[in-house]
Structure 1
């Protein structure tokens, strides 16, 4: 039995949301993190990725599969078939650079938030004035 993914794995205060380094599309890095400990079903991925619509999650998974970062396996469980997604060796090779990027974000968290707030404040003033 696999340990469930935590629902708050990518809450709004997660450093991943501030990471300026993108691996694939907007959600690719988060999906890769979800698959770090082994294969997962779509419904399992939906728990921590609740901000992603099912359609966009499907598109992201297909993109990762196309790039060779994940595999999609249909498992026949007699009653109903289900699909699992798993990192390939190429996908696993992304984990180390992603960890470095996440560490950088954690180190610069306050600066990133301050910069975003200053930018948003200036933009509001510019639009108002």
Structure 2
């Protein structure tokens, strides 16, 4: 795997790879937030707990917004680890009747966020080192 990533770096350069992975990070981040809002609003409609289900689902991702804005590699690595929580939640949702599509979409978005965040952290830190 390391040889493949180093080959990509030599072929395309870290600047281009960093730019492309950042685009995927932002796209998957937005997709995951939208999916979490949809799931939270559906859950809120079923119970009378107010906006708490929406807040509990979206707040951990919203806390990483400054990291995305400042483009810090370490923050992107932490975002990748937090996205695995949403992967587990998506797998659990996929087992519920009537929520399979939402769970599978959440799994795909969280996996895309995980992979792209880790790659962005790798290539951005190498880019900053020089």
TM-score, reference length from structure 2: 0.32
Question: Which structure carries more relative contact order (alpha carbon 8 Å, separation 6+)?
Answer: 2
**Larger Rg over CA atoms:** 1
Which structure is higher in helix share?
Answer: 2
TM-score, reference length from structure 1: 0.32
Which structure is higher in strand share?
Answer: 1
